[in-house]
Structure 1
Amino acid sequence: MIAAVTMDLVGSRRIADRAAAQREIDDALARVGRVGPKPITPLHPTVGDETQGVYAELDDALAAVLLLRLRLPDDVDCRFGIGLGAVGSIPSAAGDISEGPGWWAAREAIDTVHRLQQRAVPGARTWVAAADDASGLDLPHVNAYLLARDQLVTSMSERTRRLAYGRCLGTSQRDLAGAEGITQSAVSQALASAGAAAVVEGYRLLRHGS
């Protein structure tokens, strides 16, 4: 089922150099676009601090969002709303306007993440909502997985996220150690202490199944 993704920047008004933050986002989008699941519509900046894209399947959207979270630096924190449902566009003189139940669900999802962050689950960054015409989906289980996944990723250091990103893409611990200028043992310890193996295995299941 079509998955519409809306991404926004956490605390954008408090970022001193908004242009630099956008460059980091653009770089992460480009990298994930090359190595991650292929979208129907690539994730791209729209208005203000928002980014939007469309994936053919929920699993593809979940995998791409994970790679983005792992790739972004500490000072560029983003949240994601994923909406399941039909998407389309309305012609406009200024360019087509995204429209449809999938986008409304994505907005509902990102609003839910914002509420969770402010209250009981500050580590939450991702949520999935479905339009009325998206039936047969076990969203409570999907969102339960996302809450646990986000907590692990939110708790990681920037370096550990880079290491987990590399492991998701199949880079060996030895090569990661060389790139970071640390020992392979240090890579192993960092990944183990952060619970990164569960995150990496989750990514593998999303991309390749059991």
Structure 2
Amino acid sequence: MEPVATVIGDLVGSRAASDRAKVHEAFADAIDEINREWDPVDPLRITVGDEYQGAFETVGAAIRATFRLRIALDPVVGVRHGISWGATRVLRDDPRVEDGPGWWSARAAIEAAEKAENKAASRSVRTWYQPVEEAGGPDPAAVNAALIARDELFHRLDRSSVSVLSGMLSGMSQKAIAAELDITPSAVSQRIRRDGIAVIVRADELLGEIR
């Protein structure tokens, strides 16, 4: 079995939402959008309750795709992710049931992310990476160091700055972002500099190069 980048995601605080139907509609729409744009090797699918899972060809693709899912859901609900690198196997096609160390480690990773959230020093963490030990894969210390820093910067953004970030990650010009948000290009530029948005974008590019 060839290793893949497995992902398990879980909505944060969705049970306290006043409109659960709206949350799950946004959740399903975001999952569909990521599947269209990122073509995962194992399409993302909602499993039980507020969880979803899927797999990508590389850890970098998994990191970038899950970050975009988080951004898409940000106006509605939070989401945390566990990412791993390891082998998986299909036990049944219909309904689809999968197993294997890649999934076990992704589960351990999302549990580590949740544990980090409960500590004051790392409360902004929403993504953790834990590869299967014998599968090789990128160094978890280096990857998690970058994820911790990225998540902290993202945590500090207000709603307008998240929209600016989303536009930049989509390849929009600052002028186009300003027009969409009905603010001046100067205001967009100020947010990019003040809020570290350019740093987040560059980190996203470099994280995407991880195999």
Q: CA deviation at 1:128?
A: 0.5
CA distance in 2, matches of 1:149, 1:208: 15
Deviations 1:118-146 (A, max 9, x none): 11311000000111322253110100100
Aligned partner of 1:202 in structure 2 is 203
Letter in 2 for 1:111: E
CA distance in 2, matches of 1:74, 1:122: 19
CA distance in 1, matches of 2:141, 2:205: 21
CA distance in 2, matches of 1:178, 1:29: 27
Q: Does 1:183 align with 2:184?
A: yes
Letter in 1 for 2:99: E
DSSP-derived class of the 2:83 partner = strand
Aligned partner of 2:77 in structure 1 is 76
Is contact 1:62–1:206 with CA below 8 Å preserved after alignment?
Answer: yes
DSSP-derived class of the 1:130 partner = coil
CA distance in 2, matches of 1:194, 1:138: 28
CA distance in 2, matches of 1:73, 1:82: 19
Change (3 A) 1:193 1:34: farther
Q: CA deviation at 1:158?
A: 2.1
Is contact 2:26–2:76 with CA below 8 Å preserved after alignment?
Answer: no
CA distance in 2, matches of 1:208, 1:129: 18
Q: Does 1:23 align with 2:20?
A: no
Q: CA deviation at 1:12?
A: 2.4
Change (3 A) 1:82 1:101: same
Letter in 2 for 1:12: S
Is contact 1:82–1:127 with CA below 8 Å preserved after alignment?
Answer: yes
Letter in 2 for 1:201: R
Q: CA deviation at 1:192?
A: 1.8
CA distance in 2, matches of 1:185, 1:17: 37
Correspondences of 1:57-68 after superposition (within 5 Å):
57-68=58-69
Deviations 1:169-191 (A, max 9, x none): 21101111111111111111122
CA distance in 1, matches of 2:106, 2:209: 25
Deviations 1:67-115 (A, max 9, x none): 12222234410000001100122127x6121211111001000000000
CA distance in 2, matches of 1:24, 1:165: 16
Aligned partner of 2:48 in structure 1 is 47
CA distance in 2, matches of 1:70, 1:145: 17
Q: Does 1:14 align with 2:16?
A: yes
Aligned partner of 2:107 in structure 1 is 107
DSSP-derived class of the 2:26 partner = helix
Q: Which runs of 5+ in 1 are unaligned?
A: none
CA distance in 2, matches of 1:26, 1:136: 30
TM-score, length-normalised on structure 2?
Answer: 0.91
Sequence identity (%): 37
How many residues matched? 207
Q: Does 1:168 align with 2:169?
A: yes
Is contact 1:71–1:161 with CA below 8 Å preserved after alignment?
Answer: no
Change (3 A) 1:42 1:147: same
CA RMSD in angstroms comes to 1.8
